[in-house]
């Protein structure tokens, strides 16, 4: 995933290297799930209970609150005042997919080493991926990758704990979608770090 993030903004032929990194990650995930005895359990998709629903509400509040804080940090109005734009749905889908990969698959695979290791390692991997998206952008030197890495890691710890305490990947998916809805929901098109 980091290879994809590093090369996704580089143009031809480097974008092909990024695409290869993404395909290798997808193939690795698919292969590991094919041979997993209980793939739904590994991903955190097998449990739907009132507890999961309660944690999903907590996740929505945490993700929404973090989105409002991030908007304030960026100097934006606390809520998208112009309403939600076309990209809002895609932003939620991207965030939920990242959670399925990092808190679902990766954290699920690493639970064999104990849940604290799994939470920290998945948060670190997600922070590395997210930082790589911003690390080598053409003409965007105002981005502070240390801040991106730190905030993504802290959020990943919270989302990982949601996954552990709920037993499901649904609460962190909802939390990430709520965050992205508030931060990116007023954008009519994807920002440069999604598709350049």
146 and 152 Cβ atoms separated by less than 8 Å? no
Winning range, highest mean pLDDT, from 7-21, 30-44, 75-89, 146-160: 146-160
User: What per-residue confidence (pLDDT) applies to 139?
Assistant: 61
- For residue 69, what are its two tokens? 């804080």
What does pTM read for this prediction?
0.89
Radius of gyration over every alpha carbon of the chain, rounded to an integer in angstroms: 17
Length of the chain: 196
Write out pLDDT tens, residues 176-188: 999 999 888 877 6
Beta strands in 12-168 (DSSP E): none
Other beta carbons within 10 Å of 145: 15
Residue 145, C-beta contacts closer than 8 angstroms, at least 6 positions apart: 131, 134, 135
**% of residues, the chain, pLDDT over 90:** 56
192 and 137 Cβ atoms separated by less than 8 Å? yes
CA 167 vs. chain centroid, Å, equals 18
136 and 9 Cβ atoms separated by less than 8 Å? yes
């Amino acid at each position: 995933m980091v290879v994809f993030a590093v090369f996704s903004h580089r143009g031809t032929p480097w974008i092909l290297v990024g695409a290869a990194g993404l395909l290798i990650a997808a193939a690795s995930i698919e292969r590991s799930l094919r041979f997993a005895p209980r793939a739904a359990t590994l991903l955190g998709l097998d449990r739907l209970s009132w507890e999961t629903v309660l944690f999903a509400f907590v996740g929505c509040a945490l993700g929404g609150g973090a989105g409002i804080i991030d908007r304030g940090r960026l100097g934006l109005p606390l809520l998208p005042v112009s309403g939600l734009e076309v990209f809002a749905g895609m932003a939620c889908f991207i965030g939920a997919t990242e959670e399925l990969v990092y808190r679902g698959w990766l954290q699920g695979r690493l639970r064999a080493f104990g849940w604290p290791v799994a939470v920290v390692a998945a948060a670190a991997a997600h922070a590395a991926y997210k930082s790589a998206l911003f690390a080598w952008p053409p003409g965007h030197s105002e981005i502070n990758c240390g801040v991106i890495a730190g905030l993504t890691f802290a959020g990943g710890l919270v989302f990982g704990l949601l996954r552990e305490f709920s037993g499901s990947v649904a609460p962190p998916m909802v939390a990430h979608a709520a965050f992205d809805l508030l931060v990116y929901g007023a954008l009519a098109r994807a920002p440069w770090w999604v598709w350049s």
